[in-house]
């Protein structure tokens, strides 16, 4: 692991954040998770723009702007010096006084972590994962805009914990109206009769960049795809379901709440997307 922190790249064991950093104390900050494959950063500029937007949404500026963050990202990747990696870019509110007041923090802190990541074991990626419907709901726009990738991930973490305690791999999260939002850390796609559907951001789904890639790739492959509201029954009635995320990639789903999805294994449409996705990643990646 390599980490850029306080102006330099260090090994992971040498990276430390003060206990008075408001990211640590209150989850006050924003982040991006970024895929790196074949020495290419997947949709780097899209990730940087989204990080900047998230920061602005919580009243914070990126130190040095997007250009400075880009250089930090590339410097850390070069120090890590491997073809494939996962990047976690974090911008916390920075050090401040005890108490939630953000105005006591004079300067945000940037941290860039580069390491390998494995969300699911290889056999799960081949056979499909098991989902449960979480008892927790995705917070509404009047609570926390899901388009802001904030460091406050307690809702997501508790949903994941619920899934693991119930013997499943991942949790399906519904919004306050009972529509599908996303999984705990991934977007959701379902396929029926050869067409794809994924929940819109208005239902609580993050506009994921792997999700965006799948929608673009579907158009290239002449697979009908749309954003539309889904409910739990739509997934149970689907021929195929898969998840998408920067860390996990494209993950087939074989069951929901103990009920098989389709044939209970990755379907032909999912396999087409999986096969074509690595080449797509290279086309839209920025070399370093």
| Cβ burial, residue 228 (10 Å; 0-12/13-18/19+) | exposed
Residue 29: strand, helix, or coil: strand
Q: Tokens representing 215? A: 């929608």
Q: What is the DSSP code (8-state) at residue 135?
A: E
How far apart CA 135 and CA 113 sit, in angstroms, is 32
Catalytic, out of 2, 149, 160, 254: 149
Q: Tokens representing 202? A: 């208005």
How far apart CA 70 and CA 93 sit, in angstroms, is 19
H/E stretch holding 177: none
User: Are 29 and 22 within 8 A, CB to CB?
Assistant: yes
H/E stretch holding 271: helix 268-284
Residue 149 falls in the annotated catalytic set: yes
- Can you say how many angstroms the Cα of residue 266 is from the centroid of all Cα atoms in its chain? 21
How far apart CA 214 and CA 193 sit, in angstroms, is 18
Residues annotated catalytic, as ranges: 149
């Amino acid at each position: 692991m390599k980490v850029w922190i306080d102006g330099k790249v260090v090994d992971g064991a040498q990276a430390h954040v003060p206990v008075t950093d408001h990211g640590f104390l209150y989850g006050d900050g924003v982040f991006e998770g970024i895929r790196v494959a074949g020495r290419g950063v997947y949709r780097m500029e899209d990730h940087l723009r989204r990080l900047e937007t998230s920061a602005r949404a919580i009243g914070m500026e990126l130190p040095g702007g997007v250009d400075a963050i880009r250089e930090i990202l590339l410097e850390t990747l070069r120090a890590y010096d491997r073809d494939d990696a996962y990047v976690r870019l974090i911008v916390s509110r920075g050090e401040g006084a005890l108490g939630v007041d953000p105005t006591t923090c004079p300067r945000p802190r940037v941290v860039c972590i580069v390491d390998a990541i494995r969300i699911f074991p290889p056999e799960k990626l081949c056979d499909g994962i098991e989902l449960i419907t979480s008892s927790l709901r995705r917070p509404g726009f009047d609570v926390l805009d899901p388009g802001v990738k904030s460091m406050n991930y307690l809702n997501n973490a508790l949903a994941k914990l619920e899934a693991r305690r119930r013997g499943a791999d991942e949790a399906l999260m519904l919004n306050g109206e009972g529509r599908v939002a996303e999984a705990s850390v991934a977007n959701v796609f379902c396929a029926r009769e050869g067409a794809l559907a994924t929940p819109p951001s208005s239902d609580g789904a993050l506009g994921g960049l792997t999700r965006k890639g799948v929608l673009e790739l579907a158009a290239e492959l002449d697979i009908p795809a749309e954003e539309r509201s889904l409910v739990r029954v739509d997934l149970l009635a689907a021929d195929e379901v898969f998840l998408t995320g920067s860390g996990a990639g494209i993950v087939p789903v074989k069951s929901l709440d103990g009920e098989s999805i389709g044939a209970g294994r990755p379907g032909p449409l999912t396999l087409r997307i999986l096969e074509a996705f690595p080449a797509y990643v290279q086309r839209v990646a920025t070399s370093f």
